[in-house]
Amino acid sequence: MKMSTAINISIIIFLIIATILINYSLTSFANAITVSASIDDKVFEYSVVFFIYFACILLILRVEVYLLFINPITKIKKYIHSLKHKNDGNNNKKSLSCIGKEFKDLVELIECLDKELQELSMTFETSVKENTQELALSNEKLNEEKEFAHKIIDKLSDIVFVIKDNSLVNANNNFYKRFKNLESFLECSGHSKFVQCLEKCESCKEYLKVDAQLFSVNIELFNENYYIVTLIDMTAYNESIKYAQDQNPLTKLPGNESIKKYMYSLLKLKEPAVIIYFDFDNFKPFNDKYGFELGDRMISSFADILKAKECTYNVFNAHIGGDDFFCSIKEPSDTAISMVKDVINSFTLNAKQFYSKEDINNNCVMLKDREGNEKSFPLLSVSAVVVNIAPNSQQITYIELTKIIASMKKVSKMSENKLAAVSVIAYAEYCSKE
């Protein structure tokens, strides 16, 4: 009875210790998921927990083996020894009866222990399988979250990377395009300067100069171990500011500075292109009769027609000012002329919506001149000058190109289809004859 009580106490102790260890394991695992730590980082911790777990099992088994086997055997030896020195029959019978009872208790305890060990083994095996499955699912989920996070930072236009313990944990493609690795970044930016930024660990007002580029540094501490670093290219930012300042407020198209920059680059690289200059015809009479508000709408509608072509053609559109527009298309000249004709026809039809029914029926606008006489003006249209810069064209400057456009402007307005096309080669030959 005492032995059974001792065994029951040992089993209770075992269950308490096992419960504490399992609870600790699950708590550690939950903490690992909460802080988005890698499952691999917890492998050592789980190994220690399971080692302690098995050590406790062995310790308890050793106690039970002592209670079940060693203690009864010791008692049996004592009885046998007493038999050797005592000849009393009654005592011998009594001793043999005690020995038989001890053996019977021993068999019962062994059967009970075997049954409990089988149940314990099955419970432990089930628990291990469940924990293994949970770990596998959690690891898979964590990998999916990491991949999703990488896709997010990959979409950012700035350079973004994550540091932990002075090692690169994650980075977007912009980082790898500019730097091979963390060491390369530190070498280019200056190790000490960047470390100072890390120590501040705030939205830095610091700047790092990497080669010829100037970057604004933003560092945020995450989960006490991870540093999220964002590098904003101030060179590109300044270019964006210049572009915004040059942008036409009405049409949102690039202005004169952008046109100059584009053309200087195009002519310097001797790239073939077709340059197009658009100019409204009879825009002043329309403004005089319908006002500048509808005049602005007319200009915006033409800009929208040009923007729509950007989806189909390799084209750069810009607004010189007023009713003058610039366009460069890197397509064959035939394709460019076809696009220009489509723009002219689309705008001519679209412009009619801004006129009254009377003017549309008359196909003109009636206005009084300075002397008070009625005078008719044609409905609004647009003319275009097309200059083809072929690969074998002679080198020309931007100023020379504007002179070609100016000389062909009158020809386009006089043309029946409102279009005048010329190549740089043909124009040079024409000028040489003059």
pLDDT tens, residue order, the chain (434 aa): 455 555 556 556 665 666 666 556 556 555 554 444 444 455 555 555 556 666 666 665 555 555 555 555 565 566 556 655 554 455 555 555 666 666 677 777 777 877 777 877 788 778 777 778 777 777 777 777 777 777 777 777 788 888 888 788 888 888 888 888 888 887 776 666 666 666 665 545 567 777 667 777 777 777 777 888 888 777 666 666 666 677 898 999 999 989 998 898 888 888 889 999 999 999 999 999 999 999 999 999 999 999 999 888 889 999 999 999 999 998 888 999 999 999 999 999 999 999 999 999 999 999 987 777 889 999 999 999 999 988 776 678 888 889 999 999 999 999 989 999 988 765 555 455 55
| Token couple for 356 | 């009254």
Q: What is the pLDDT of residue 49?
A: 57
Same domain, 202 and 84: no
Domain-located, residue 241 = no
Q: What is the pLDDT of residue 379?
A: 93
Domain boundary among 216, 236, 256: 236
Per DSSP bridges, beta strands 315-321 and 324-329 are antiparallel
pTM of the predicted model as reported, rounded to 2 decimal places:
0.50
Same domain, 397 and 411: yes
CATH of the domain at 418: 3.30.70.270
Same domain, 90 and 195: no
Same domain, 94 and 187: no
Domain-located, residue 291 = yes
Domain-located, residue 133 = yes
Closest CA to 243 of 269, 268, 261: 261
Domain-located, residue 346 = yes
Amino acid at 227: Y
**DSSP state, residue 282:** S
Q: What is the pLDDT of residue 37?
A: 46
Closest CA to 377 of 286, 279, 278: 286
Bridge partners (DSSP) of residue 362 are none
Same domain, 148 and 166: no
| Token couple for 236 | 């590109």
Same domain, 281 and 420: yes
Residue count of the chain, please give it.
434
Same domain, 82 and 169: no
Domain-located, residue 242 = no
Query: 92 CB contacts (<8 Å, ≥6 apart)?
Result: 83, 86
Q: What is the pLDDT of residue 36?
A: 46
Domain range for 124: 2-154
Closest CA to 270 of 397, 386, 387: 397
Domain boundary among 120, 138, 154: 154
Same domain, 206 and 297: no
Same domain, 178 and 101: no
> What pLDDT, in 10s, does the model give residues 400-431?
889 999 999 999 999 989 999 988 765 555 45
Same domain, 254 and 381: yes
Same domain, 75 and 131: yes
Q: What is the pLDDT of residue 342?
A: 95
Main-chain phi, psi angles of 134, to 5 degrees: -65, -40
Q: What is the pLDDT of residue 203?
A: 46
Domain boundary among 209, 236, 263: 236
Domain-located, residue 288 = yes
Q: Which H helix or E strand runs over 230?
A: strand 226-233
**CA distances from residue 236 to 8, 239, 243, 258, 355 in whole angstroms, order as listed:** 76, 5, 10, 15, 44
Asked if 46 and 32 count as a contact pair (C-beta separation under 8 A), the reply is no
Total of domains in the chain = 3
Asked if 138 and 29 count as a contact pair (C-beta separation under 8 A), the reply is yes
Same domain, 298 and 427: yes
CATH of the domain at 175: 3.30.450.20
> What pLDDT, in 10s, does the model give residues 362-408?
999 999 877 778 899 999 999 999 999 887 766 788 888 899 999 99
Domain-located, residue 418 = yes
Domain-located, residue 101 = yes
